[in-house]
Chains A and B, each alone.
Chain A
């Protein structure tokens, strides 16, 4: 397809253009398509993708919602690295006026930039990530001390926005499709340390089986790429510790 030139660049009085390659296709096949997008002073990768969809090719499929780094919908591979596109400034990732945008790694691709998130969220459930309440609404609310050491561990992971960037960054996931992945395991660690969660042993069983926390090689790509500066690698180390402790305790 012919590269599309900008109509807006003339309107804005700006001359520069970005050379953007965008993945078109599915898991079955496809290729990168080149677009020329007007370069603006303030511009995120999501802005670039939106510009292409608005002005160049309306059939481009991508996913976003909040545009402010809250919802976790817009993660994509940018120049081969997983990033939240709404908070990734073009200037930060541009290489010689070029940028490559693709769908998240380690997940099936539905179309273009939209990855199928089902395996990712299924693994949250498999890892025991669904909350099991320890009290009913009729019971008094038990106080939670935010300074408590166990609560501090739980609080470390609750800012996860389920964007799947850690899952896309993880080479262990790439090598083992059964591996639960950093996000699901960090969720399990958070719930394990949540005083109001009623099924800690279910979590330990869920994360110590095939594909569980002991598959992790502590490469730390999850922690490096997490856009919210969370630390799934240490959460998984915590799970390794607790599952091992529980293994030896049960043998006694």
Chain B
């Protein structure tokens, strides 16, 4: 028996947690690939040409979205917890999502 959770701030929590976990998984891989620049540059070049494929660009769009939604959602939480003002949290959470969509959408339009 669980209470209905589909209210905006609970969804904002899930989005923040999932994007944080996904970014935490991405970062080590990211640094590992970057380390090729120092150890085996030809491998890095190989990877960079692989990264030109449309499917990878689509994945990068997802990555930019996750990063943006985590940054702006995090700013909302920090503002709520550190400023002596609580604000309309539902609208702010929706705003964070909106800005993330805008940023990642702009990114996608620029690469296609």
- Residues of B with C-beta under 8 A to A102: 1
Evaluate contact between A237 and B9: CB separation under 8 angstroms: no
Contact A171 B5, beta carbon cutoff 8 Å: yes
Chain A residue numbers with a CB within 8 Å of B81 are 218, 237, 240-241
Say yes or no: A80 contacts B9, CB within 8 Å: no
Complex Cα distance, B36 from A34, in Å, reads: 66
Chain A: interface secondary structure?
A: helix
| Complex contact B4–A80 (CB within 8 A) | yes
Q: Shortest CB–CB separation between residue B75 and chain A, in angstroms?
A: 13
Complex Cα distance A8/B3, Å?
Answer: 32
Residue pair A218, B80 in contact (C-beta under 8 Å): yes
Count of chain A residues with a beta carbon within 8 Å of a chain B beta carbon: 24
CB pair A218–B77 under 8 Å, yes or no, is: yes
Within 8 A of A (CB), among B50-102: 77, 80-82, 84, 86, 89
Take A77-B3, A171-B5 as given contacts and tell me if A219 and B86 are in contact as well, using a CB distance cutoff of 8 Å: no
**B residues near A, CB below 8 A?**
1-5, 7, 9-10, 13, 77, 80-82, 84, 86, 89
Q: Residues of A with Cβ closer than 8 Å to B?
A: 77, 80-82, 102, 105, 168-169, 171, 217-221, 223-225, 231, 233-234, 237, 240-241, 244
